[in-house]
């Protein structure tokens, strides 16, 4: 099969999708913004052909490029795995007659108010929300549901540009982050509860591989509070019933309501006093190297399972659930240049056998803004057969390791 894969070079783990497609038997045609000469030999070896474009989000340019490819070979699929690439990819598929996630489904998976409206209509429990274009609309909504409110871009990913407002004054301050060109934003009822995510590889709408993960603390707090060393953990207890059975049922209902067919999915959720609530979903893999954790925890290659689903509409790969796995972000004490670390040797001596890998920028490296995510600065990834033991070990790392800034 001939598969167009969008942007195989950046970010770094994009190469794993190209690798898995090639190893599964696809002829992989990469389309990206990086010149061919800049690609390393290993990545070039996985690509049967490569085309450079000015921007992979330029629909006209991408459509012309794909039509040019179709003039000399049949294109079976066109796949994109980055949130901001999914809508351009869907529009190109529609224009060129290539099967895959539809424009309508992609729109529902990106536009949060429309997503939640569709799911409420389908009976999926979710927070009250509106698409607001004026301060008065938001204040009227606040009068109905009460504060706190969550404000975010209609098509944002993760916690990017997301704010919480507890009163009118904070609301007006939060609105200041949206540029003058923004005419509509998503406004949601704040949902109290523990936050996590449920990820699948779905075939014909049915999850054939699934994974459940937990945030500590929730994403908004984690991305806004420097002293916290946030973590997330994928559990090997998903077969234990209870909450996880509810997540699996919710995932199937969400797939059906939004028309998600064969795709990777990433679904955020809250579980609290009002029960399990849907937060949002993307018809794409999770970011932050999450599939690497799933692979290590379950003795499988999740990228290969995805490739088999895309190419053959099926996979025999199944997770072992032998381990839980997690990542902890180690925040620098301030902005500037890293001057050194304390506690690393102690952690390695005590917990080294459970450490999968780590990223420890060298002294002199500039720090990155903490809102850039879990992998913006230093981080450690670990796995252990017992979920609670792993959680305690990650807490230990967060307490023990300090990133100093000169």
Q: Each residue of 45-64: pLDDT tens digit? A: 999 999 999 999 999 999 99
CA 74, CA 176: separation in Å to the nearest integer? 48
**Residue 310 and residue 201 share a domain:** yes
Do residues 23 and 307 make contact, with C-beta atoms less than 8 angstroms apart? yes
Using CA atoms, how far apart are residues 158 and 400, in angstroms rounded to an integer? 28
Does residue 105 sit within a domain?
A: no
Q: Is 354 helix (H, G, I), strand (E, B) or coil?
A: helix
Residue 315 lies in a domain: yes
Whether 8 and 50 map to the same domain: the answer is yes
pLDDT at 379 over 90: yes
Residue 180 has pLDDT above 70, yes or no: no
pLDDT value at residue 377:
97
Indicate whether 179 pLDDT > 90. no
CATH of the domain at 146: 3.30.1490.20
245 domain-assigned: yes
Residues 162 and 210 in one domain: no
Q: Is the predicted pLDDT of residue 173 greater than 60, yes or no? A: yes
User: How confident is the model at residue 156, as a pLDDT?
Assistant: 63
What DSSP element (H or E) covers 371? none
Tell me, what CATH number does 386's domain have? 3.30.470.20
Determine, yes or no, domain membership for 112: no
User: In this structure, are residues 277 and 271 in contact, taking their beta carbons and an 8 Å threshold?
Assistant: yes
Neighbours of 312 (CB within 10 A): 12
Query: What confidence tier does 181 reach under pLDDT thresholds 50, 70, 90?
Result: low
> Is the domain of 151 the same as that of 214?
no
Shared domain for 197 and 184, answered yes or no, is no
The residue out of 322, 341, 360 marking a domain boundary is: 322
For residues 49 and 30, the answer to whether their CB atoms sit within 8 Å is: yes
The whole-number pLDDT of residue 113 equals 87
CATH code at 68? 3.40.50.20
Would residue 122 count as lying in a domain? no
Q: Which of 322, 352, 386 is the last residue of a domain?
A: 322
Within this chain, do residues 215 and 275 fall inside the same structural domain, yes or no?
Answer: yes
Q: What angle do CA 368, 214, 266 make, to 5 degrees?
A: 80
* 250 located within any domain: yes
- Judge if 293 and 226 occupy the same domain: yes
Looking at residue 320, its pLDDT comes to 98
Q: Which residue's entry shows tokens 């799911």?
A: 119
Q: What is the pLDDT of residue 160?
A: 60
Do 273 and 165 fall into the same domain? no
| Nearest CA-CA partner of 376 in 229, 213, 273 | 229
Residue where one domain finishes, among candidates 322, 347, 370: 322
Give mean pLDDT, residues 218-239.
93
Whether 219 is in a domain gets the answer yes
Q: Would you state the pLDDT for residue 334?
A: 94
Other CB atoms within 10 Å distance of the CB of residue 142: 18
If asked whether residues 93 and 145 sit together in one domain, one would say no
**Residues 351 and 251 reside in one and the same domain:** no
Same domain, 201 and 291: yes
Mean pLDDT over 194-204 rounds to: 97
Count structural domains, the chain: 4
Q: How many angstroms separate the CA atoms of 317 and 295, rounded?
A: 11
Give me the mean pLDDT over the 178-185 stretch: 69
Beta strands in 33-172 (DSSP E): 49-52, 77-79, 129-132, 149-152, 163-165
Residue bearing the bigger pLDDT, 195 or 170: 195
Q: Is 121 inside any structural domain?
A: no
The parent domain of residue 310 ranges over 192-322
* pLDDT reported for residue 18: 98
Give the mean pLDDT of 268-278. 94
Q: Note whether 272 and 150 are same-domain residues.
A: no
pLDDT tens figures, 328-376 = 999 999 999 999 999 999 999 999 999 999 999 999 999 999 989 999 9
pTM across the whole model: 0.92
In the predicted model, is pLDDT for residue 312 greater than 80?
A: yes
Task: Please give the mean pLDDT across all residues of the chain.
Answer: 94
pLDDT above 60 for 159: no
Digit-coded pLDDT (tens) for 74-123: 999 999 999 999 999 999 999 999 999 999 999 999 998 899 999 999 99
Cα separation, 117 vs 270, whole angstroms: 17
């Amino acid at each position: 099969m001939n598969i167009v894969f969008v942007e195989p070079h950046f970010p770094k783990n994009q190469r794993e999708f190209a690798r898995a497609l090639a190893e599964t038997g696809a002829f992989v045609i990469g389309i990206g913004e990086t010149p061919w000469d800049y690609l390393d030999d290993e990545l070039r070896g996985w690509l049967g052909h490569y085309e450079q474009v000015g921007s992979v989000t330029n629909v006209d340019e991408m459509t012309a490029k794909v039509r040019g490819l179709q003039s000399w070979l049949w294109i079976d699929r066109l796949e994109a795995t980055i949130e901001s690439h999914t809508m351009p990819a869907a529009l190109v598929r529609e224009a060129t007659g290539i099967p895959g996630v539809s424009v309508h489904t992609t729109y529902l998976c990106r536009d949060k108010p429309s997503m939640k409206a569709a799911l409420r209509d389908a009976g999926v429990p979710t927070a009250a929300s509106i698409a607001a274009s004026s301060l008065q609309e938001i204040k009227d909504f606040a009068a109905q549901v009460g504060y706190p409110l969550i404000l975010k871009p209609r098509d944002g990913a993760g916690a990017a540009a997301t704010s919480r407002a507890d009163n009118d004054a904070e609301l007006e301050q939060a609105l200041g982050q949206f540029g003058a060109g923004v005419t509509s934003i998503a406004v949601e009822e704040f949902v109290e509860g523990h936050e996590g995510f449920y990820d699948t590889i779905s075939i014909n709408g049915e999850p054939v591989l699934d994974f459940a993960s937990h945030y500590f603390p929730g994403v908004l707090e984690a991305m806004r509070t420097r002293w916290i060393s946030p973590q997330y953990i994928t559990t090997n207890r998903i077969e234990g019933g209870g909450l996880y059975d509810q997540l699996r049922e919710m995932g199937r209902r969400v797939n059906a309501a939004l028309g998600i067919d064969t795709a990777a999915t990433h679904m955020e959720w809250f579980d609290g006093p009002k029960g399990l609530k849907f937060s949002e979903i993307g018809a794409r893999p999770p970011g932050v190297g999450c599939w690497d954790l799933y692979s290590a925890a379950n003795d499988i290659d999740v990228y290969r399972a995805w490739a088999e689903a895309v190419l053959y509409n099926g996979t025999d790969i199944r997770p072992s659930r032998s381990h839980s796995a997690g990542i902890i972000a180690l925040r620098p004490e301030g902005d500037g240049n890293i001057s050194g670390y304390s506690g690393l040797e102690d952690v390695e001596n005590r917990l080294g056998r459970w450490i999968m890998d780590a990223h420890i920028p060298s002294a002199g490296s500039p720090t990155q803004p903490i809102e850039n995510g879990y992998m913006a600065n230093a981080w450690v990834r670990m796995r252990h057969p017992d979920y609670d033991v792993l959680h305690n070990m990650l807490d230990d790392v967060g307490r023990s390791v300090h990133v100093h800034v000169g």
